Each structure stands twice: as structure tokens, then as C-alpha cells.
Amino acid sequence: HGQTEYNAGSRMQGQLDTDLSDLGREQAASAAEVLAKRQPLLIISSDLRRALDTAVSLGDRCGQPVSIDTRLRETHLGDWQGMTH
């Protein structure tokens, strides 16, 4: 996924549902442009917004739907979620 505000702030996300930053949206669009040329047959994403928004950017670019699989979520970090590192 593209950069989130938590990434930019050196915060651990784990399974917190964070949004892409402006830079992250640009990164997702750039990645979608490159990856769409590979003509993916299937796009699967976790349900977390940062991953899903990145995947949807690719799906929109290449005309493929995005399937959601919650098993693709990042590891839950317990009390460390949201903490800086």
C-alpha cells in the first residue's frame, strides 16, 4: 500500500484502519499505472482502507474488480498499535 499518515509519523499500524496520505494516494496511482501494464487477472486486498484504496486504484486502472480477504490484514500489534518507533 501507499504511505499513510501513520507511516509518515513513524507510528505502528498493525490492524488499525488508517487512510493513505496525499503522498500515499500518489504512490498508489503511480503503482497502478505500472502494474496495470502487467494485465492482472485477479486483485485481492485486505479490508483495511490503506490496502483497499491502493488495490482499487489498480482495479480502476485495469478494469478489474478487487476481491477482499481479511486474512491479508497486517499482524495485530496489540498495545504497540499507534505507538511511535
Residues carrying an active site annotation: 1, 74
Return the domain boundaries, the chain: 5-80
CATH code assigned to 5-80 = 3.40.50.1240
Confirm if 2 and 31 have CB atoms less than 8 A apart. Answer: yes
pLDDT score at 61: 97
Q: 3-state class of 23 per DSSP?
A: helix
What is the number of helices (H) and of strands (E) in the chain?
3, 2
pLDDT score at 33: 98
pLDDT score at 25: 98
Whole-prediction pTM value? 0.93
Beta bridge partners of 43: 66
Residue 44 cell numbers, joined: 485481492
pLDDT score at 16: 98
CA distance 75 to 85: 16
53-81 pLDDT tens trace: 999 999 999 999 999 999 999 999 999 99
pLDDT score at 8: 96
24-37 pLDDT tens trace: 999 999 999 999 99
Give the whole-number percent of the chain exceeding pLDDT 90.
100
